[in-house]
């Protein structure tokens, strides 16, 4: 009939909206909603016995499972791709929970993934009486580098007066968070010492904490984090994913401070090839999350960042933007920092100060794929893009 068309339904909220538009009896929702969304879930390193059981069970429920050829001949472990609706998964989970070969653990993992991928709102309690609301709209984190050698704006805000002025400008332009970095993380830079980093930070922080600004500190050092948190900072943005300084995690736990865990192989495992880029990053972020929670940091205080520009290839960085939604499986808010980075310059053939349009494209793509926070240099333009993208993604229909 005229007007018939394919409809893309991304989640259960959108599925419910479509049913309401059609005029479906609400009593049918519990039966229809589990069939409305189709999900592919990639399981890693499943034994050949487990893979064969999963395939048989998923097929019997009306779903599908792709397993490696060697699993059929008794070789393994290997990866498994599950394909099905929520209904298929719920039926599968009942069976897996009573199966051997570690499938009870696999069932729990699938349950956690399915629970994590639905959009949700969250409030993170910050030190010093502030809160961070996530999920209502995309938050904008403005970058303030008070360093002489950052790749984009090094040297511009070394003077505390200039730094404070720029922070206020970014807040006026729409920044929800100001991320202050006092030690450059540029690959070829010489990292400032602890004392120098603290001495750069505190004069700027002392003037900003009196204002209604949420302050994030870009540091991987425990001692710097302690000084910052004790002087009014609210969030620690750790580019080392708890790997570069063993003193950081105890400080986070003691202060119960929210942390951004950014994936980064550059300092720890530089040159080590990825077997499966997205899966490897998810695995390493899971490990960092586990260590933080085991040490006493509440899971709801953790934000993840896949680390665009840190130890990834040009294609890898672009793939992370494309596949950002995969990181929803972690069940944590996602921060993305692509602003002005070299992969944009390499893609467009542009120098660092000509990368605005590429950065804004990355912002829009990231938001459409599930980013909760965007970390940017160009706050005014990025805020407008975020507002427009949010409006599109949240539109009814």
Q: Which residues are catalytic?
A: 341, 375
DSSP 6-51: -----SHHHHHHHHHHHT--GGGHHHHHHHH-EEEEEEEEE-HHHH
Q: Which residues contact 355 (CB under 8 A, 6 or more apart)?
A: 340, 341, 344, 345, 348
Which residues, in sequence order, are CB contacts of 23 under 8 Å at separation 6+? none
Cα–Cα distance, 80 to 68 (Å, whole number): 7
Provide the residue count of the chain.
397
For residue 102 the two structure tokens come to: 């570690």
Cis peptide before 16 (omega within 30 of 0): no
- CA 283 to centroid of chain Cα atoms: 13
Strand bridging mode 78-85 / 64-66: antiparallel
Q: Which residues contact 343 (CB under 8 A, 6 or more apart)?
A: 308, 309, 312, 314, 317, 318
Partners of 313 in beta bridges: none
């Amino acid at each position: 009939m005229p007007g018939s068309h394919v409809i893309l339904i991304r989640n259960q909220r959108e599925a419910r909206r479509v049913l309401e538009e059609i005029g479906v009896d609400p009593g049918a929702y519990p039966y229809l909603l589990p069939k409305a969304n189709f999900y592919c879930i990639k399981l890693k390193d499943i034994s050949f016995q487990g893979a064969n059981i999963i395939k048989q069970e998923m097929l019997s429920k009306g779903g599908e499972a792709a397993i490696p050829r060697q699993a059929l001949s008794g070789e393994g472990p290997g990866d498994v791709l599950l394909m099905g609706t929520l209904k298929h998964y719920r039926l599968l989970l009942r069976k897996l929970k009573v199966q051997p070969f570690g499938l009870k653990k696999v069932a729990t993992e699938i349950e956690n993934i399915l629970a994590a991928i639905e959009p949700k709102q969250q409030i993170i309690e910050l030190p010093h009486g502030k809160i961070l609301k996530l999920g209502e709209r995309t938050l904008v984190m403005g970058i303030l580098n008070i360093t002489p050698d950052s790749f984009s704006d090094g040297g511009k805000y070394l003077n505390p007066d200039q730094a404070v002025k720029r922070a206020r400008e970014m807040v006026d332009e729409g920044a929800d968070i100001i991320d202050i970095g006092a030690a450059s993380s540029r690959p070829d830079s010489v990292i400032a010492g602890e004392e120098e980093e603290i001495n750069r930070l505190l004069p700027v922080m002392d003037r900003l904490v009196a204002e209604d600004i949420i302050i994030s500190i870009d540091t991987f050092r425990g001692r710097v984090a302690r000084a910052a948190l004790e002087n009014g900072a609210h969030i620690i943005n750790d580019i080392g994913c708890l790997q570069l300084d063993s003193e950081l995690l105890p400080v986070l736990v003691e202060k119960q401070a929210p942390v951004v865990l950014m994936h980064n192989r550059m300092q720890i495992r530089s040159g080590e090839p990825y077997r499966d880029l997205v899966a490897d990053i998810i695995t390493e972020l899971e490990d960092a999350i586990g260590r933080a929670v085991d040490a006493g940091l509440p899971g709801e205080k953790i934000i993840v960042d896949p680390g665009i520009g840190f130890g990834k290839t040009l294609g890898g960085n672009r793939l992370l933007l494309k596949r950002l939604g995969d990181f929803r499986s972690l069940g944590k808010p996602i921060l993305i920092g692509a602003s002005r980075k070299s992969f944009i310059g390499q893609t467009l053939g542009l120098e660092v100060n000509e990368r605005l349009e590429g950065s804004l494209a990355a912002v829009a793509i990231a938001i459409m794929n599930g980013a909760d926070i965007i970390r940017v240099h160009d706050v005014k333009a990025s805020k407008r893009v975020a507002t427009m993208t949010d409006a599109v993604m949240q539109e009814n229909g």
